[in-house]
Amino acid sequence: MKKIKSLLMAATAVLGLTACQETRNENWTTHALDVASCQLKQAAAALEDTVMMPRSTWTFHENEFLESQLGHAVVISEDPEEVNSVKVLKGQRRDCPIADWTSGFFPGSLWYAYELTGDEELKRQAVRYTNILYPVRTLEGTHDLGFMINCSYGNALRLAHNDSITTVIVETADALCKRFDPKAGVIRSWDFGPWNYPVIIDNMMNLDLLFNAGRITGDNRYYDIAVTHAKTTMRHHFRPDHTCYHVVSYNDDGTVEKRETHQGKDDASAWSRGQGWAVYGYTSCYRETKDTAFLQQAVRVADMIMERVKTCDRIPYWDYDAPAAAETPRDASAACITASAFIELSTFVPDGQKYFDYAETILKNLSTPAYLAEKGENHNFILMHSTGSLPHNSEVDTPINYADYYYLEALKRYLDIRKPANK
């Protein structure tokens, strides 16, 4: 706790970011940021006496509905007490401890909202909630350290660089590197389940942490591990149509044990958020390496997404192969991740305008009452209608903190590089 307080004081001392100077003339972005600021400040105030983070809301759906989406029978839980407890919690806010994989998104959202508005209260809360995550830097039992630390401390590093923050970034990267297997050429994801050495597409999102650590230290080890992981994933995670599996498990000799889609409709389906992780991850890898193989992969996945998403508002169903029906849950989080990636991708390719325009459409649709919450509603989350894992009856059609995070990131990228035609 003493170290946390020290870091808080250090971060506060160097924070001097001023509000963006550009005048925001677009009413929809102004409204979106107004709502986001209000929601985030209220959420922060509600949890200020705790060390918890707002994650989502509790949801529960009957098996009949899940089976209609999946096309097969399901048994989510055989424990009546567990089922009943979730039913009782349904509709309530779901908070998470700092060791949860989503813990970094709320402080990251506070940083982005502060950067976009210059609101000093958002800065204060960003510092507070970032510092709560200080103990995470030594965790070695999870691959999600990039989400947890790069989204929080990574944004603090970018906006308020100081030695305390850089130390956290490097220590966390060291912990993540311990999960790298040189023989397989990938960073291990889970330490549970029926897999020998599972790696999920989500892991591409943790590579920015390693790239950050490499820049801080000058040590090529972080860069080399990130690049090796990305190249191995590119070889084994993707189908001929450029959709990706969720999980690839490796044997001890580095060969592929099995390929699955754990949170999607089935092993052959295109789980929506996974496709977002893929295009985002390879766009980031190209930014950091300038390796055209990564850019080509990002373009292939992006073009596949534009071809496969058939919803009229471009907010995808929870799985691209889910039933095209009114009752099928959307996944706003997948849309936000895609939009953020597309905006960055648009700056790297000659025909980038098509990706920018696609992302702009997503953001404008997310900023309507169909997805954007009213102030004080939605348990103070910004967006509605995301889906965590439908096959596990978890967070189906609910607000989720990582949707809010990538929505704000996409808005920032949009406002930073907006084309003249879109003013």
The answer to whether 202 is a known catalytic residue is yes
Determine if residue 261 is labeled as part of a ligand binding site. yes
Give 178: exposed, middle or buried? Use CB within 10 Å, 0-12, 13-18, 19+.
exposed
Amino acid at the residue 20: C
Angle at alpha carbon of residue 99, lines to 94 and 102, rounded to 5° = 50
* Residue 144 assigned as binding residue: yes
Partners of residue 256 on adjacent β-strands: 250
- Which residue among 95, 202, 397, 404 is the active-site one? 202
Does the annotation flag 77 for ligand binding?
Answer: no
Instruction: Kindly name the residue from 100, 144, 208, 319 that is annotated as catalytic.
Output: 144
The answer to the question of whether 111 is labelled as a binding residue is no
Please indicate whether residue 357 is annotated as part of the active site: no
Residue 37 is assigned to a ligand binding site: no
Is 273 annotated to bind a ligand? Reply is yes
Annotated binding site for substrate: 144, 202, 261, 273, 277, 389
Active-site amino acid positions: 144, 202
| Feature table: binding site | 144, 202, 261, 273, 277, 389
